Amino acid sequence: MALVASCQTKVRETSTSGQDEQIAMNTLTSQEKEEGWILMFDGKTADGWRNFNGDTLTGWIVEDGALVGLGLGGDIGGDIVYGEREFGNFILEWEWKLGPNGNSGVMYHVVEGEQYRAPYETGPEYQLIEDDDFRNPDGSQYPLEEWQKTAADYAMYVPADSIEVHVRDWNSSRIVFTGERVEYWINGVRSVEFLPWGEDWYTRRNAGKWDDYPDYGLAKTGLISLQDHGSKVWFRNIKIKPLD
């Protein structure tokens, strides 16, 4: 996984030569371009991103090479989507950090429409949250369930005990999605692994929170979404490799 060298460059070990290569932030290597990776954020503009069910981008800015959610959202509103195309099977990578009382996430296979108020009604979520000290708006502490913690498949699969997260610093995350296997990774450690649309998946989906959302997780393709859940969040180096 990437190691952060500065706000403008990072050091990544290439898979071909085994040598360290200085790579500019929010760019693709020549090898990644050859492999079909798509850069979803160039660090300068928010081109391609817009509000869920919208035509414009509000509540988010580009600052110091990061796409920043300003914390103006809530349970409904504030989330954005990459509207350039939909993805089915993919590898998605990004770096992120949270502000105080941070709560965010990355969703995929998101479907838009007037019948949906938020991306989470259809799209599974890789959870990002301040696990150790999450608090309600009034300051009271909010005890998190295991399925609510960082790098969980939110309200479905709990993260591994071995993960290490420092939400005020930059973290590296990765989703590998295919119809036969899904993996979530954080800082080089696999946090979640499951079979999508299998017997266990449907049991979890129909027994918990998502039973109230009939279209949750059923789409085979959809949009990528970033969540603003009412606290500041930073994203950078967002890229995706379609596997279809």
pLDDT above 90: residue 138 = no
Handedness of CA 102, 223, 112, 193 (dihedral sign): negative
Structural contact between residues 172 and 154, judged by C-beta atoms closer than 8 angstroms:
no
**pLDDT value of residue 139:** 62
Query: What is the pLDDT of the chain when averaged over all its residues?
Result: 90
Structural contact between residues 65 and 8, judged by C-beta atoms closer than 8 angstroms:
yes
Question: How many Å apart are CA 181 and CA 155, to the nearest integer?
Answer: 18
Reported confidence tier of residue 9, pLDDT bands at 50, 70, 90: very low
| pLDDT one-digit tens code per residue, 168-196 | 999 999 999 999 999 999 999 999 999 99
Reported confidence tier of residue 147, pLDDT bands at 50, 70, 90: very high
Q: What is the mean pLDDT of residues 147-165?
A: 95
Give the architecture-level CATH label for domain 37-242: Sandwich (2.60)
Q: What is the mean pLDDT of residues 78-86?
A: 97
Q: What is the mean pLDDT of residues 94-105?
A: 94
CB atoms within 10 A of CB 13: 12
* Per-residue H/E/C for the chain: CCEECCCCEEEEECCCCCCEEEEECCCCCHHHHHHCCEECCCCCCCCCEEECCCCCCCCEEEECCEEEECCCCCCCCCCEEEEEEEECCEEEEEEEEECCCCEEEEEEEECCCCCCCCHHHCCCEEEEECCCCCECCCCCECCCCHHHCCCCECCCECCCCCCCCCCCCCEEEEEEECCCCEEEEECCEEEEEECCCCHHHHHHHHHCHHHHCCCCCCCCCEEEEECCCCCCEEEEEEEEEECC
**pLDDT value of residue 243:** 98
pTM: 0.89
Q: What is the mean pLDDT of residues 30-35?
A: 97
pLDDT above 80: residue 18 = no
Q: What is the mean pLDDT of residues 85-95?
A: 98
Q: What is the mean pLDDT of residues 150-170?
A: 95
User: Domain extents for the chain?
Assistant: 37-242
pLDDT above 50: residue 154 = yes
